[in-house]
Structure 1
Amino acid sequence: MNDPKTIGFLGTGIMGAPMAGRLCQAGHRVHAWNRTPDKAQALASLGVAAKQTPKQAVDGADVVIVMLSSGPVCDEVILGPTGILASMKRDSILVVMSSIPVATAKRQAEAAAAQHIRYLDAPVSGGEQGAIDGSLAIMAGGEPSVFEQTSALLGLLGRPVRVGPAGTGQLAKLVNQLIVANTIATVSEAMLLAERGGADPSQVREALLGGFADSTILRAHAPRMIANDFKPGGPAKWQLKDTQTTLSLAKELSLDLPVASLVNGLFEDLVVHGDGELDHSALIRELRRRNGMPL
């Protein structure tokens, strides 16, 4: 590699860990921090250096990547009393890959600019497997020049596309999550209909592949629904966070999204019934409850 970067990576959870590992294995110097220290330390075999605090992780970094769980957590780590902005070097780049509200991304971009830090909001889709494979969909918002300077780096993680100014990456992610959540609900209903109607759901799925009903959700999640395998790649509680954020933005824009509202209610009930830590494909469990079917 002709131009290895020093990267501060904050958040090495289900998706962040393989992302940090890929960057390190590509020849970059990666300094990682996670609220649960063991998760960052577990990457030592890949060459990732675990740090005890966010400030230590971003010290001297050319690029800081944030892959934390939510907007409030990102704000605390970035903008809080001990936030990282004051510790980042001038003209370095902050890339927030967490899923956060559009307004939060815009506010962070303004705060970063005031500290002479360049900002990109670049949330991702593709789950744990996409992070492992480096095939994530990356929706970026920010200045064209900042995107150009980070596109090669982000290309190690997936397929980055700039969709507009700061905040629009998060808007694109909400569009993505709207499609994902609604499709999970539809595929869940379809699998239950096939089952109760007397067909083999696995064979129904096989028959649909390649037709108009085909989708990534049908291919990747229908088998999990059929097998009741809900090890989290994307926990249901975070899907709910995104559907709630989507509906909040829709309200601000005076949009009525009735299907999204219904699906949001299903995810709310799923989480209330204790399944929030399961994969978002576990929504079929909530539909089973409603129909008196065994979980």
Structure 2
Amino acid sequence: MKRVAVIGTGIMGAHLGRRLARAGFDVRAWNRTAQKAEVLAADGVVPVARLGDALTRADAAIVMLSGGPVIDALLFGEPAGIAALPRDALVVVMSSIAVETARAQAARAAALGYAYLDAPVSGGEPGARDGTLAILVGGEPAAHERAAPLFTPLGTATWLGPAGSGQLAKLANQVIVGGTLVAIAEALTLAEHGGADPAAVRQALMGGFGDSKVLRVLGERMVHGDFEPGSPAAYQLRDMRTASALARGMHLKLDQLDAVIERFEALARHGEIERDVAIVVREVARRATREPAA
């Protein structure tokens, strides 16, 4: 497996393409906005103008697009982009999509003769840049074994079960991340209003039971007011809404998740949803200092 198509070269997909090229893969990249693929030429990636040009020689296609409907349209629409792939090629969808969408895509790919993995990731832009992503894999074990050389330069891959299992694990991850973000934002708001330096409090908590990667990476963004998007809040909200809908379908009520979703929906109302997820600290601060209704 040497020839790889990277479909979607936004923040995450661009880093995936670079790392694969540096690892010795023959990488062709396509993006709807061509300039985002063209800038990767300096990193050894071959940008192409047409989707079919990326897929036609590929042993595997890595898809990192913004959602299930977009992927459906590109791969299975008319004309079906997936048909440009050689038979027996591997399709690896690393986007975060609904569990049922992943299962449906796997079935459609199999009917056309292609192996399919859903392999969403956790670790954000730093993980994609540094090759330290957690890669959550669903699909056939044999397909996962074939994909192992692709995953090695990108992070640590864990096979979790049949198609859709990777997406289910990603939703669980996003429930944890969302709740942790709001908890950290509230803790830092409490520290600041109590007269302590939030940056010093964050530093002091690292290494204790309150420590986490979210505290280290996104807590740092909070205390410095660095909200340039690495992991856009819009994607976090999308994933949490997907998790909430899945829970309702199982007749589960996840109260904390619903409360966190409310905080992120408020960011959307304030025009802040395209900023980094760390910006939720602003909404937490607004709520914390809001005068109670009379």
Smaller-chain TM-score bracket: over 0.9
Matched, 1:194 2:181: no
* The one of 4, 8, 18 aligned to 2:5: 8
Question: Residue 286 of structure 1: CA displacement?
Answer: 1.1
Matches of 2:267 and 2:107, distance apart in 1: 37
Q: Is the 8 A contact 2:55 2:82 kept in 1?
A: no
Q: Secondary structure at the match of 1:43?
A: helix
Separation in 2, partners of 1:79, 1:288: 45
Provide the TM-score with structure 1 as the length reference.
0.96
Distance 2:231 2:273 in 1: 10
- Amino acid in the other structure paired with 1:92: A
Do the aligned partners of 2:99 and 2:165 also contact (CA within 8 Å) in 1? yes
TM-score, normalised by the number of residues in structure 2: 0.96
Q: Which residue of 2 aligns with 1:285?
A: 282
State the Cα distance separating 1:202 from its structure 2 match. Answer: 1.2
Superimposed CA distance per residue, residues 103-142 of structure 1 (whole angstroms, 9 cap, x where no aligned partner) = 0000000000011000000000111111110000000001
Task: State whether structure 2 residue 164 is matched by structure 1 residue 174.
Answer: no
**Correspondence for 2:29:** 32
Which among 63, 66, 81 is matched to residue 63 of structure 2? 66
Matched, 1:100 2:94: no
Give 2:239's aligned residue. 242
C-alpha displacement at 1:241, in angstroms? 0.4
The sequence identity of aligned pairs, in percent, is 49
SS at match of 2:274: coil
Following TM superposition, by how much is the alpha carbon of 1:287 offset from its aligned partner in structure 2, in angstroms? 1.5
Stretches of structure 1 lacking an aligned partner (at least 5 in a row): none
Give the 3-state SS of the residue equivalent to 1:275 in structure 2. coil
Residues 68, 101 of structure 2: 8 Å contact kept: yes
User: Hey, what does 1:53 align to over in structure 2?
Assistant: 50
* Worse-matched range after superposition: 201-210 or 229-238: 201-210
- Once the 2 structures are TM-superposed, how far is the Cα of residue 292 of structure 1 from its aligned partner? 4.2
Q: Distance in 2 between matches of 1:249 and 1:284?
A: 27
Amino acid of the structure 2 residue aligned with 1:94: V
SS in 1 for 2:242: helix
- Provide the C-alpha distance between the structure 1 equivalents of 2:151 and 2:71, rounded to a whole number of angstroms: 19
- Give, in angstroms, the shift of residue 78 of structure 1: 1.4
Q: Which moved more, 1:103-112 or 1:66-75?
A: 66-75
Kindly state the Cα deviation for residue 290 of structure 1 after the two structures are TM-superposed. Answer: 2.2
Cα drift, residue 186 of structure 1: 0.5
Q: Matches of residues 136-215 of structure 1 in structure 2 within 5 Å?
A: 136-215=133-212
Which one-letter code corresponds to 1:264 in the other structure? I
Shift of 1:288: 2.1
Deviation at 1:60, TM superposition (A): 1.4
Partner of 1:122: 119
SS of 1:60 mapped into structure 2: coil
What CA distance in whole angstroms lies between the structure 2 residues aligned with 1:118 and 1:68? 19
User: Quick one: which amino acid aligns to residue 18 of structure 2?
Assistant: G
CA drift of 1:88 comes to: 1.3
Range that drifts further, 78-87 or 179-188:
78-87
Of residues 279-288 and 239-248 in structure 1, the stretch that sits farther from structure 2 once superposed is 279-288
1:53 is displaced (CA, Å) by 2.0
Identify the residue that residue 79 of structure 2 maps to in structure 1.
Answer: 82
Residue type matched to 2:148 in 1? S
Structure 2 alignment gaps of length 5 or more? none
1:241-260 matched pairs, under 5 angstroms: 241-260=238-257
Q: Separation in 2 of the partners of 1:234 and 1:23?
A: 21
